[in-house]
């Protein structure tokens, strides 16, 4: 029987044990576990990799702890603008949205774009109009409000700074209740098809309609059965310039590197040279999983049909 597996991330950045309370750590691990189980259940019932990554992402988008969907960070203007992408490695069909508002689960809208739009990438008001036309679930602004995100944004709103939602050195009071994390999932199903999905609120205090790597096919999200499915998290600009997710695929295709080697080269060499803090999760069509990051931590987890399951936050040595 073909092995199947799913891996997820909930963001990477300056995530260290000293800043975490036991209760918060437990809540993150539970959030990861719930999402892993939702995605795994789809695979276990013979469902597709696309449906598995979507199921996992919906759970993470609905969890206020993570910077996606409901828990999205505030922009410079004090609103949430969300980005998401999904890609099917079997067909290389892809769908993505950027700068959408009030969409409860942006990953569902990305999938609608993939299946029903004849396009790959929709943005802003047009993407919201498409959401209404397709009957994708919308929620009022209050649904996306959380005091923590608001306080986090207040620290930055009078400046030109923007930040990775995970990086708050010096903001002591926020450390106690630190919530962050773009979310992503990759999966390999029982038929050896793979898929990737990523969803995010982007970076706190972003402006001018800034879009990161997450919804950009090839940068933050990519899937091709012939090589790998990848979902990235971190400082989006260097990930875009490195075309990070597609780079892993290219290293496998043209240099015959394994998934592990290709991700290592990209995360620990290429992105480091470009000061690209963050990480990525990847899977191949044999259900091999790799999760790598060059930051202090990355919320992550995996589960496979061999019975392996793990959820982690910090570097292995911590
Ligand atoms: N990569 C995302 C962005 O730049 C942020 C993150 O991963 O937290 O929008």
Cα–Cα distances (Å) from 204 to 53, 95, 98, 110, 149, in that order, read: 25, 24, 15, 22, 8
> Candidates 152, 163, 212, 241: which one to mutate for ligand 1, based on the most atoms within 8 Å of Cβ?
212
Q: Report the mean per-residue pLDDT for the chain.
A: 90
Strands (E), the chain: 5-13, 82-88, 93-100, 121-123, 183-188, 194-200, 221-223, 229-234, 278-283, 289-293, 297-304, 309-314
Query: What would the mean pLDDT of 166-181 be, rounded to a whole number?
Result: 42
Q: Give me ligand 1 centre to Cα 168, in Å.
A: 15
278-283: strand order across its sheet = 221-223, 229-234, 278-283, 289-293
* Nearest protein CA to atom 4 of ligand 1, as residue: 236
Specify whether 182 is catalytic: yes
Give per-residue pLDDT as tens, 244-295: 999 999 999 999 999 999 999 999 999 999 999 999 999 999 999 999 999 9
Tell whether ligand 1 has an atom less than 6 A from the beta carbon of residue 203. Answer: yes
Q: Output the pLDDT for position 175.
A: 33
Tell whether ligand 1 has an atom less than 6 A from the beta carbon of residue 71. Answer: no
Query: What would the mean pLDDT of 179-194 be, rounded to a whole number?
Result: 90
Q: Output the pLDDT for position 77.
A: 80
Percent of the chain with pLDDT over 70: 91
Q: Output the pLDDT for position 159.
A: 66
Q: What is the DSSP letter of 170?
A: T
Q: Output the pLDDT for position 171.
A: 37
On the question of pLDDT at 172 being above 60, the answer is no
> Which carries the bigger pLDDT value, residue 231 or residue 24?
231
On the question of pLDDT at 152 being above 60, the answer is yes
Query: What would the mean pLDDT of 119-145 be, rounded to a whole number?
Result: 96
Query: For residue 204, what pLDDT band results from cuts at 50, 70 and 90?
Result: confident
> Candidates 203, 211, 215, 274: which one to mutate for ligand 1, based on the most atoms within 8 Å of Cβ?
203
Tell whether ligand 1 has an atom less than 6 A from the beta carbon of residue 276. Answer: no
Q: Output the pLDDT for position 145.
A: 81
Cα–Cα distances (Å) from 128 to 102, 184, 263, in that order, read: 8, 22, 34
- CA dist., res. 52 & res. 47, Å (int): 7
On the question of pLDDT at 168 being above 50, the answer is no
On the question of pLDDT at 194 being above 80, the answer is yes
Catalytic residue chosen out of the listed positions 182, 204, 227, 233: 182
Q: Output the pLDDT for position 134.
A: 98
Q: Output the pLDDT for position 13.
A: 82
On the question of pLDDT at 86 being above 50, the answer is yes
On the question of pLDDT at 164 being above 50, the answer is yes
Percent of the chain with pLDDT over 90: 74
Q: Give me ligand 1 centre to Cα 199, in Å.
A: 9
CATH number (3.40.50.2000, 2.40.10.340, 3.60.20.30, 3.40.50.2300) of 5-314 reads 3.60.20.30
> Which carries the bigger pLDDT value, residue 272 or residue 73?
272
Tell whether ligand 1 has an atom less than 6 A from the beta carbon of residue 11. Answer: yes
On the question of pLDDT at 179 being above 50, the answer is no
| Single pTM value for the model | 0.92
């Amino acid at each position: 029987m073909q092995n199947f597996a799913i891996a997820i991330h909930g963001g990477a950045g300056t995530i260290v044990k000293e800043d975490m309370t036991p209760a918060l750590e437990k809540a993150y691990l539970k959030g990861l576990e719930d999402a892993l189980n939702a995605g795994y259940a789809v695979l276990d019932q013979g469902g597709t990799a696309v449906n598995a990554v979507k199921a996992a992402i919906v759970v993470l988008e609905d969890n206020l702890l993570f910077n996606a969907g409901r828990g999205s960070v505030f922009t410079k203007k004090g609103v949430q603008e969300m980005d998401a992408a999904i890609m099917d490695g079997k067909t290389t069909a892809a769908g993505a949205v950027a700068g959408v508002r009030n969409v409860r689960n942006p990953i569902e809208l990305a999938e609608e774009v993939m299946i029903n739009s004849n396009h790959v990438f929709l943005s802003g008001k047009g993407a919201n109009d498409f959401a209404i036309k397709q009957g994708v679930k919308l929620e009022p602004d209050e649904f996306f409000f959380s005091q923590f995100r608001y306080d986090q944004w207040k620290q930055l709103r009078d400046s030109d700074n923007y930040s990775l939602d995970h990086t708050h050195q010096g903001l002591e009071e926020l450390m106690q209740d630190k919530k962050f994390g773009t979310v992503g999932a990759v999966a390999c199903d029982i038929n050896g098809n793979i898929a990737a999905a990523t969803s995010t609120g982007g970076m706190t205090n972003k402006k001018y309609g800034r879009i990161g790597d997450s919804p950009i096919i090839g940068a933050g999200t990519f899937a091709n059965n012939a090589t790998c499915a990848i979902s990235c998290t971190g400082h989006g600009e260097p990930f875009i310039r490195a075309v990070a997710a597609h780079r892993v695929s290219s290293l496998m295709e043209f240099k015959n590197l394994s998934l592990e080697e290709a991700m290592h080269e990209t995360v620990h060499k290429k992105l480091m040279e470009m000061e690209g803090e963050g990480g990525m999760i990847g899977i191949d069509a044999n259900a091999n999983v790799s999760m790598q990051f060059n930051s202090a931590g990355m919320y992550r987890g995996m589960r496979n049909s061999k019975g392996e399951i793990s959820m982690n936050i910090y570097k292995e040595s911590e």
